[in-house]
């Protein structure tokens, strides 16, 4: 789940798979098969401490961020205060060196699982692959040096992170990874592993199993909710008990995935390898479309269930929660932290810290009364009028309008009436982008308040499939804009943005600062504006019988080619669908 800043970019690009270069692995003795005597045991300190993943980056641009000793010390003191005294880091670089030094210099009671980041060489030219291998060898050398320089702090070492599971964006062949693991293990005295998803460990090849001292397993029932892999909605349970049922089912999902890896290891002759869950978590706030489950109280409920399982002695030897602090550079994969990026304590750990550093709103939470749970959507009858008006002061003969109040919703843009300019009537809507990531920004007009018992409201606009989406716009926003609508269901991540990029001269649009009327054929508007996203294909698109976002405007930089961080305002007016 954790990603190197460069990997965050690489994952969105298509990689051409070439034959992997043979790694520069060293020789020597490594554990193999059922030879328990050669396994390096996990220290008692490693098994008994409360564990968490730690990333030291606080900004959107970690490649240029200066990680200071003061920030590292602040973070470590917060973790010690909460008794999170075993941390897993992902790199062996200058920052990890300084982190280890801060821990030692300040005599902090913190132990570390040191990471050694490995970069894929697949899809690279021979020269580029050789250069990448040199980087990997530098990382290995740094890892060995740091583990040996801080043997009192570094209790275990992990080589690579999610490099062998099928969906990885940073692929390294198992044979090559086994060589890297062996190379590191020959240079250190600590137990050594590689971190990967349960879907790798439940079919891992013998060359990797023979190279490690323990299994470092990642399992995320939260992330699996978006792929229909378990019944998180729990609609068979009354709403008042649905949150508890969802979290219990989430734990059961993780236990089943752990068991699948454990049983495979036993059948393969590697049942003696201890299993540690080195990543699991539950988001405290949605950073994609994770409605009805991403909430601080749900996070606390899940943590308590997982920790109870760990303490029972029937599951993993230890569990590292993902993660200590939010990291904005992860964009839509953020919001997992015990603390937000401002170092404010979320509900999950609020009892361990003074209220002066709590995240706003925490004092109002109760368990489980504030937890989120699934509510079904309500779909209105089909609109049959020739025009469906969403935002306009004028009245058009024969038009239909929404039967309930609409509102603009977004986490990275705002909307407010503007009486200084209008395409019709006396006011327009001023859209102010407030981009908070390097992927996109957007804002959507939809129903404000679903009726009791429903999670959202949708319109059936199938009658307009051969019609047009119309609006007036005034802006000097540089580059193209994305406009459209959304269909499907937010709850299970099957709500999709149906978008089209428009630039000067397209459908009547111009960004010259004057008002222009735009008329786009609905048939020209396509899912995601033409982006092909991984793992999306199984779902259906363009379900105009279930339109949840009636009008959307924004910028998806991968489609428009625009640079991020554009805050130029946009006025819109006279928004309607027509046949």
50 lies in the same domain as 9: yes
End-to-end, the C-alpha distance of the chain in Å comes to 45
- Residue-level pLDDT at 498: 87
Residue 26 lies in a domain: no
349 lies in the same domain as 391: no
Task: Check: CB of residue 222 under 8 Å from CB of residue 246.
Answer: no
- Position 539 confidence tier, pLDDT thresholds 50, 70, 90: very low
The answer, yes or no, to whether residue 167 has pLDDT greater than 80, is yes
164 lies in the same domain as 273: yes
334 lies in the same domain as 227: yes
Q: What is the mean pLDDT of residues 160-175?
A: 97
421 lies in the same domain as 319: no
Residue 383 lies in a domain: yes
The number of domains in the chain is: 2
Residue 369 lies in a domain: no
Pick 256 or 544 by higher pLDDT.
256
Residue 355 lies in a domain: yes
The answer, yes or no, to whether residue 30 has pLDDT greater than 70, is no
User: Poorest-confidence range of 34-43, 196-205, 324-333, 531-540?
Assistant: 531-540
Pick 5 or 177 by higher pLDDT.
177
321 lies in the same domain as 184: yes
The answer, yes or no, to whether residue 404 has pLDDT greater than 80, is yes
Q: How far, in Å, CA of 507 to CA of 530, rounded?
A: 18
Domain that holds residue 121: 5-13+41-364
The answer, yes or no, to whether residue 450 has pLDDT greater than 50, is yes
Residue 377, helix vs strand vs coil? strand
Joined together, the tokens standing for residue 24 give: 């520069």
The answer, yes or no, to whether residue 567 has pLDDT greater than 70, is yes
285 lies in the same domain as 187: yes
Q: What is the 3-state secondary structure (H, E, C) of 191-260?
A: CEEEEEEHHHHCCCCHHHHCCCCCEEEECCHHHHHHHCCCCCCCCCCCHHHHHHHHHHHHHHHHHHHHHH
- Residue-level pLDDT at 217: 98
- Position 29 confidence tier, pLDDT thresholds 50, 70, 90: very low
293 lies in the same domain as 404: no
Cβ-Cβ contacts under 8 Å for 377 (sequence gap 6 or more): 450, 454, 455, 456, 457, 458, 489, 490, 491, 546, 548
The answer, yes or no, to whether residue 383 has pLDDT greater than 50, is yes
Q: What is the mean pLDDT of residues 424-434?
A: 97
Question: pLDDT tens, 265-303?
Answer: 999 999 999 999 999 999 998 877 688 999 999 999 999
CATH number of the domain at 105, please.
3.20.20.80
Question: pLDDT tens, 82-118?
Answer: 999 999 999 999 999 999 999 999 999 999 999 999 9
- Position 531 confidence tier, pLDDT thresholds 50, 70, 90: low
The domain boundary, picked from 338, 364, 390, lies at: 364
Residue 19 lies in a domain: no
Percentage of residues of the chain with pLDDT beyond 90: 80
Q: What is the mean pLDDT of residues 361-368?
A: 91
- Residue-level pLDDT at 7: 39
The domain boundary, picked from 364, 391, 413, lies at: 364
407 lies in the same domain as 312: no
- Residue-level pLDDT at 37: 72
- Residue-level pLDDT at 163: 98
75 lies in the same domain as 213: yes
Average pLDDT over the chain reads: 90
355 lies in the same domain as 381: no
Residue 29 lies in a domain: no
314 lies in the same domain as 390: no
Residue 46 lies in a domain: yes
CATH number of the domain at 552, please.
2.60.120.430
- Residue-level pLDDT at 497: 79
Q: How far, in Å, CA of 560 to CA of 503, rounded?
A: 9
The domain boundary, picked from 331, 364, 397, lies at: 364
Query: How many Å separate Cα 237 from the centre of its chain?
Result: 28
Q: What is the mean pLDDT of residues 506-520?
A: 98
Residue 24 lies in a domain: no
Work out the number of other CB atoms within 10 angstroms of the CB of residue 385. Answer: 16
């Amino acid at each position: 789940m954790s990603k190197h800043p460069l990997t965050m970019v690489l994952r969105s690009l298509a990689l051409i798979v070439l034959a992997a270069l043979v790694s520069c692995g060293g020789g020597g003795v490594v554990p193999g098969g059922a030879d328990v005597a050669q396994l390096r045991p996990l220290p008692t300190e490693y098994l008994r401490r409360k564990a968490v993943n730690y990333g030291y980056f606080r900004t959107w641009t970690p490649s240029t961020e200066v990680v200071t000793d003061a920030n590292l010390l602040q973070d470590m003191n917060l973790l010690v205060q909460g008794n999170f005294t075993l941390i897993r880091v992902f790199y062996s670089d200058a920052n990890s060196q300084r982190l280890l030094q801060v821990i030692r210099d300040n005599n902090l009671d913190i132990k570390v699982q040191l990471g050694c980041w490995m970069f894929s060489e697949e899809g690279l030219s021979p020269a580029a692959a050789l250069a990448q291998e040199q980087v990997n060898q530098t990382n290995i050398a740094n890892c060995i040096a740091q583990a040996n320089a801080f043997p009192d702090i570094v209790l275990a070492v992990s080589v690579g992170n999610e490099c062998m599971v099928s969906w990885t964006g940073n692929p390294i062949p198992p044979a090559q990874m086994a060589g890297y693991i062996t190379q590191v293990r020959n240079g250190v005295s600590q137990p050594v592993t590689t971190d990967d998803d349960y879907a790798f460990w439940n079919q891992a090849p013998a060359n990797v199993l023979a190279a490690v001292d323990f299994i470092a397993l990642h399992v995320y029932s939260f992330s699996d909710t978006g792929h229909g892999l378990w019944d998180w909605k729990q609609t068979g349970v009354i709403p008042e008990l649905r949150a508890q049922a969802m979290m219990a089912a989430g734990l059961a999902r993780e236990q089943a995935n752990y068991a699948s890896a454990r049983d495979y290891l036993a059948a393969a002759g590697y049942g003696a390898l201890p299993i540690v869950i080195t990543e699991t978590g539950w988001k405290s706030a949605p950073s994609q479309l994770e409605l009805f489950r991403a909430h601080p109280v749900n996070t606390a409920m899940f943590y308590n269930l997982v920790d109870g399982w760990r303490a029972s002695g029937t599951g993993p030897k230890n569990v590292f929660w993902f993660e200590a602090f939010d990291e904005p550079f992860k964009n839509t994969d953020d919001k997992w932290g015990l603390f937000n990026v401002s170092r404010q304590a979320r509900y999950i750990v609020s009892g361990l810290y003074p209220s002066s550093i709590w995240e706003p709103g925490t004092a109002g939470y109760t368990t489980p009364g504030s937890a989120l749970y699934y509510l079904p959507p309500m779909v209105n009858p089909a609109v049959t009028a020739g025009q469906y008006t969403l935002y306009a002061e004028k009245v058009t003969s024969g038009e239909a309008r929404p039967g309930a109040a609409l509102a603009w919703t977004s986490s990275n843009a705002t909307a407010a009436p503007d009486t200084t300019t209008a395409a019709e009537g006396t006011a327009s809507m001023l859209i102010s982008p407030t981009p908070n990531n390097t992927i996109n920004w957007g804002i959507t007009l939809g129903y404000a308040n679903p009726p009791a018992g429903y999670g959202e409201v949708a319109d059936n606009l199938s009658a307009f499939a051969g019609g047009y989406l119309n609006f007036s716009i005034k802006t000097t926003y540089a580059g193209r804009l994305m406009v459209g609508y959304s269909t499907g269901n937010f709850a299970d991540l099957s709500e999709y943005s149906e978008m089209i990029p428009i630039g000067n001269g397209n459908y009547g649009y111009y960004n010259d600062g004057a008002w222009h009327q735009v008329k786009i054929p609905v048939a020209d508007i396509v899912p995601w504006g033409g982006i092909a996203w991984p793992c999306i294909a199984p779902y259906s698109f363009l379900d105009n019988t279930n339109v949840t976002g009636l009008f959307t405007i924004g910028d998806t930089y991968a489609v428009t080619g625009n640079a991020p961080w554009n805050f130029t305002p946009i006025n819109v007016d006279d928004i309607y669908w027509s046949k």
